[in-house]
Amino acid sequence: MIKGKVHKYGDNVDTDAIIPARYLNVSEVAELALHCMEGLDSNFVKKVNPGDIMLAEKNFGCGSSREHAPLAIKASGISCIIAKSFARIFFRNAINIGLPILECTEAVDNVRSGQTIAVELSSGKIMNMDSGKEFTAQAYPQFMYEIIAEGGLIEYTKKRLER
Amino acid sequence: MTLVEKILATHSNMKKVKPGQFISVPVDMLLANDITAPIAIKEFSRLGVEKVFNPEKIVIIPDHFTPNKDIASAEQAKTVRQFARLQGVNYFEVGEMGIEHVLLPEKGLVLPGDVVIGADSHTCTYGALGAFATGMGSTDIAVAMATGNIWMKVPSTIKFIYHGILPQWVTGKDLILYTISDIGVDGALYSAMEFVGPAIDSLSMDGRFTMANMAIEAGAKVGIFFADGNTIDYIKSRAMRPYTIYQPDKDAEYIRTVEYDVSTLEPQVAFPHSPENTRPISKVGDIKIDQVLIGSCTNGRLEDLQIAARVLKGKKVHKDVRCIIIPGSQKVYMDALKEGLIEVFIEAGSVVSTPTCGPCLGGHMGILASGEKCISTTNRNFIGRMGSAESEVYLSNPAISAASAVAGNIISPKEIINNR
């Protein structure tokens, strides 16, 4: 069970907003995290706490294929992203680096910034701890849960290559 | 099956695939660049695999922050160069390189019917050749470098039919900007866009590369064209291995069909801060600009420079404007030089740069200060894309950008070129 305070954003949050390209001359995640969401919310880095949850409307992570984007979000302390929909490269990247992401329109519509929510990944259950309302995210194919559970695509592939 | 379903089914050795199905696909070509390869290399090393699955099927291009813009970029480029040498993969050093999506087709490294994945979102450019080409992240590329395979969800296909004949100064860029403004930046999310119709049949290869390039700007996985006579003409001197031209079945199923008549279409301009925020040139109003950028994987090919030169010939860039022109590859640069285009640009007061992605993504070679406006032939105009978060980027075709460089505000070439 993941529990955290919500930081909510709008439609079409792009990868340049998540991590501007001028910082892509390094790939150390701690350094990337210092500039996370800089293009959209310059206070994000100051207000985020480990375990917090990011919410967004539709098409989150559109734009570039830069894996630096989900890496920066994960390293900033965010434990899970819930959106109405994700851009497809961002979706793959988040799963591949073991950052849990869920698609759930009802949760996004019924949770505000600053509220606390709890998420159970295995069942897709999302609970607004402030309002008591409960929602269920769309299920994934089994292998994606396995990739996240094993910590990412590298760990997942490594295990299968060793077999 | 549609064209993309055919390509995926054949590659994964299946009789039939359906949209939504998860499959494992062997890849024909894998791509990474100087900003995505460093992470891919790091992740590859964690796999405990010594050698890549096939060095001939991997290409690494240092193009984003090269020639290196600072020490950190130089360190990343060094990492990439060392890995490429050690593994013996295709690698093009500064001096023979180009912007990856201009260079790969030009070198014949991607061909019709291929499955291509690249750690760059604009990998979808090769759909112009009738290839299944899509962008992914560094970890996906790392795993594919080791295994030669990638998991994929079969996309459903949206068919776009373009009727009519393109008016003067209207290009592939205008078709794709208009399409994105119509369907939205997530209008083709997780889908394949298939581009057909009379206007497409007569579209040049360079125009098709531009359109396929921006399929990602509508959220698509792939933007694909049928290989035809134009395609064959383009690849016949370039292909160094066999390839297959696939055709869809007669009963292919499309999730949606969208039709446009382009006979009265105007050049399009995408306003800040989204490629869907598009207006026809006649509705742009008075927008003064500080910079013009002509180049990139979207519009850095020879035809783009020819169009820009037709507008700039005998004209002068406005005194308040910096006009930056970046040929997409060394070959494009050389061809433009031989045709006298570079002379036209320099005479007009433009600066001509060596190939690089540079300013398109706010890297180097033309970063914007706060309050500045740029019209650019690139693909994205997100907040802060080319520099300051308080700058603005407008997207257009090369003719509009070049005309705007002369006028100092966003304008149609018709207004500065008489009797043509």
User: In whole angstroms, how large is the CA radius of gyration of chain B?
Assistant: 20
Residue from the list B120, B219, B385 with its beta carbon closest to the beta carbon of A62 = B219
Quote the ipTM score. Answer: 0.96
Q: Which residues from chain B sit within 8 angstroms of residue A25, using beta carbons? A: 35, 65, 69-70, 72-73, 76
SS (H, E, C) chain B: CCHHHHHHHHHCCCCCCCCCCEEEEECCEEEEECCCHHHHHHHHHHCCCCCCCCHHHEEEECCCCCCCCCHHHHHHHHHHHHHHHHHCCEECCCCCCECHHHHHHHCCCCCCCCEEEECCHHHHHHHHHCCEEEECCHHHHHHHHHHCEEEEECCCEEEEEEECCCCCCCCHHHHHHHHHHHHCCCCCCCCEEEEECHHHHCCCHHHHHHHHHHHHHHCCCEEECCCCHHHHHHHCCCCCCCCCCCCCCCCCCCCEEEEEECCCCCCEEECCCCCCCEEEHHHCCCCECCEEEECHHHHCCHHHHHHHHHHHCCCCCCCCCEEEECCCEHHHHHHHHHCCHHHHHHHHCCEECCCCCHHHHCCCCCCECCCCEEEECCCCCCCCCCECCCCEEEECCHHHHHHHHHHCECCCHHHCCCCC
Task: Respond yes or no on whether the N-terminal peptide bond of residue B248 is cis (omega within 30° of 0).
Answer: no
In this complex, how many residue pairs, one in chain A and one in chain B, have their CB atoms less than 8 Å apart?
133
- Mutate: best of B64, B183, B361, partner A, most A CBs <10 A: B361
> DSSP class of residue A22?
G
User: In whole angstroms, how large is the CA radius of gyration of chain A?
Assistant: 15
What is the third-level CATH fold of B3-260?
Answer: Aconitase; domain 3 (3.30.499)
Is CATH 3.30.499.10 the classification given to domain B268-415?
yes
Fold match flag (B3-260 vs B268-415):
yes
Give the CA distances from residue A13 to residues A54, A63, A156, B373, in Å, rounded to whole numbers and listed in that order.
12, 9, 29, 22
Give pLDDT, residue B420.
46
B47:A62 CB<8 A: no
- Work out the widest C-alpha separation in chain B, in whole angstroms: 66
B230 Cβ contact list (under 8 Å, min separation 6): B203, B204, B205, B208
A12:B38 CB<8 A: no
B105 Cβ contact list (under 8 Å, min separation 6): B125, B126, B128, B129, B209, B234, B238
Q: Which residues from chain B sit within 8 angstroms of residue A13, using beta carbons? A: none
In this model, does residue A140 exceed pLDDT 90? no
End-to-end CA distance of chain A: 31
Structural domain boundaries in chain B: 3-260, 268-415
Q: Exposure pattern of B316-333 as b/e (b: 16+ CB <10 Å)?
A: ebbeebbbbbbbbbbbbb
- DSSP β-ladder status, B322-325 and B351-352: parallel
Q: Which residues from chain B sit within 8 angstroms of residue A26, using beta carbons? A: 72, 76
A22:B65 CB<8 A: no
d(CA B150, CA B119): 13
Angular region, B130: left φ>0, alpha ψ -120 to 50, beta rest = left
Residue from the list B38, B136, B143 with its beta carbon closest to the beta carbon of A89 = B136
Average pLDDT over residues A131-144: 94
B136:A152 CB<8 A: no
pTM value is 0.97
Task: Respond yes or no on whether the N-terminal peptide bond of residue B273 is cis (omega within 30° of 0).
Answer: yes
A85:B136 CB<8 A: no
Q: Which residues from chain B sit within 8 angstroms of residue A22, using beta carbons? A: 362-363
- List pLDDT tens digits, range B110-166: 999 999 999 999 999 999 999 999 999 999 999 999 999 999 999 999 999 999 999
Q: Which residues from chain A sit within 8 angstroms of residue B135, using beta carbons? A: 65, 89
Q: Which residues from chain A sit within 8 angstroms of residue B143, using beta carbons? A: 153-154, 157
Residue B319, token pair as written in the block? 């005194």
**Nearest residue of chain A to residue B139 (CA atoms):** A96
A65:B121 CB<8 A: yes
Question: Residue written as tokens 């990739």?
Answer: A147
**Nearest residue of chain A to residue B382 (CA atoms):** A16
Give A158 to chain B, closest Cα distance, Å: 6
d(CA B390, CA B371): 5
Q: Mind listing the pLDDT tens digit of every residue in chain B (420 residues)?
A: 999 999 999 999 999 999 999 999 999 999 999 999 999 999 999 999 999 999 999 999 999 999 999 999 999 999 999 999 999 999 999 999 999 999 999 999 999 999 999 999 999 999 999 999 999 999 999 999 999 999 999 999 999 999 999 999 999 999 999 999 999 999 999 999 999 999 999 999 999 999 999 999 999 999 999 999 999 999 999 999 999 999 999 999 999 999 999 999 999 999 999 999 999 999 999 999 999 999 999 999 999 999 999 999 999 999 999 999 999 999 999 999 999 999 999 999 999 999 999 999 999 999 999 999 999 999 999 999 999 999 999 999 999 999 999 999 999 999 998 744
